[in-house]
Amino acid sequence: MPTYTRKVTIQTFWTCKKCKTKNPGLEGAEDESLRCMSCGNQKSDEPYEMPEDVQAAPEVTDEHLLSFARAGENWTCPYCRCQERGVHGQCSNCGATTDKPPSPPTAPTAKAPATPDEEAPRKRFNAARYLRVALLLLGVIGVAWMLVWLFTPHEAIARVVAHNWTRTEHLRERETVSHEDWRGNLPAGSFDVSCERKKKGDEDCRPHDCRCRQESYECRCMGGDSYDCRCSTRRTNCHDNGNGSATCDEETVCDTCYTPKKCDTCEKRACDTCYDTCPVYDDWCTAQSYEWPIVNTKTNTGSDLRPAWPGLTAGVLQRLERSESYAVKLANSDDVWTYHPSNEGEYVRFAGHEGNLRISYTRAGTVSILGPAE
């Protein structure tokens, strides 16, 4: 459904406060519509009024009148208070010009305080905006503060209060496993592979025309062109320009209609696409491969500074896997930390160490040894 939107200009009206005559806002010469067509009184502070039926109001298309509408809001003479158009720089009532010095200043009129109904929306708007900004800033500051709190290093003096270690050995033994599968599914490193060609399945092959027939279709067509029809127009958002005109959004919605279409009837040969069924062959194989399952596991733990392996021994066709972890507990009168040496050498250096140590730590849990405390 096509929709078209454009701006249109319509004429507004003003009512003479002297004789109550309703006057057009644009018609006539430059200042003709600024004088009452009944009593000749010059327009001053009379407000412009929208037409009773905005939808039926004729659009202003005359370029002379449109120049008044585009000239901006009327200005009011500071001497006689009569209105003049934006295109006219001199008051037609008293002859004053826009660049003439203003009359002697009068005491300013105090602006009436805003009513609660007028003030409340402004306060609510400002409060909401400032609240959003404040919450965003608080969130950013909170995240930054948390990162600094977690990762800023601190120094402390602590003593070693405990040690512990864990050593684990896994004994794996080679095992020969037989496989029977298509060649592409065999494990990597397979050996003693023996294969024979076998049918794996079927697939479509050799496409060709089938079930051919004569079909009718429209040809040499004329007409059938689309065009807009049954259009309806609606004006919204009319804005008073303050010069005898108003600008409205005009939306036109139309249906889509088509001109009569006339075609001849032609025939063509049409076929479906069919396929033959072809067998698919692949290598069906038997093979062997090595696997290394765990056949024994032992773990040693201790709280001394002499870590030892459990003592498993790899025999023929076996292999040994080892893993280890270490922890040193540090403390002072205020806090407790756990330092994790990466290897045995780092762990056993604490042997016989009974003095204080300088450490660096973060609240995120990282601990490092800086050296003996002086």
Domain assignments of the chain as residue spans, ordered by start: 8-84, 157-171+298-372
Token look-up 């002697």 returns 104
- Structure pTM? 0.45
CB burial string 24-61: b at 16+ within 10 A, e below: ebbeeeebebbbbeeeebbbbebebeebeeeeebeebe
Residue 366 vs residues 153, 241, 372: alpha-carbon distances, Å = 9, 70, 19
Q: What pLDDT is stored for residue 100 in this prediction?
A: 52
Residue 77 vs residues 4, 32, 98: alpha-carbon distances, Å = 41, 17, 8
Q: What pLDDT is stored for residue 328 in this prediction?
A: 92
Is a pLDDT exceeding 80 seen at residue 232?
Answer: yes
| Tokens at 355, concatenated | 């003095």
H-helix or E-strand spanning residue 126: helix 116-151
Q: What's the average model confidence in pLDDT over 199-212?
A: 96
Q: What pLDDT is stored for residue 119 in this prediction?
A: 47
Strand partners of residue 281: 199
Q: What pLDDT is stored for residue 98 in this prediction?
A: 61
Is a pLDDT exceeding 90 seen at residue 67?
Answer: no
3-state secondary structure of 138: helix
- Residue 43: DSSP 8-state: P
**Tens digits of residue pLDDT in 313-326:** 999 999 999 999 99
Q: Which of 98-112, 261-275, 351-365 has the lowest mean pLDDT?
A: 98-112
Token look-up 């948390």 returns 146
Q: Do residues 364 and 354 lie in contact, with contact meaning Cβ atoms separated by under 8 Å?
A: no
Q: What distance lies between CA 164 and its chain's CA centroid?
A: 52
Is a pLDDT exceeding 80 seen at residue 275?
Answer: yes
Residue 163 CB burial class (10 angstroms; 0-12, 13-18, ≥19): buried
Q: What pLDDT is stored for residue 126 in this prediction?
A: 65
Kindly indicate the confidence band of residue 83, based on its pLDDT and cuts at 50, 70 and 90: confident
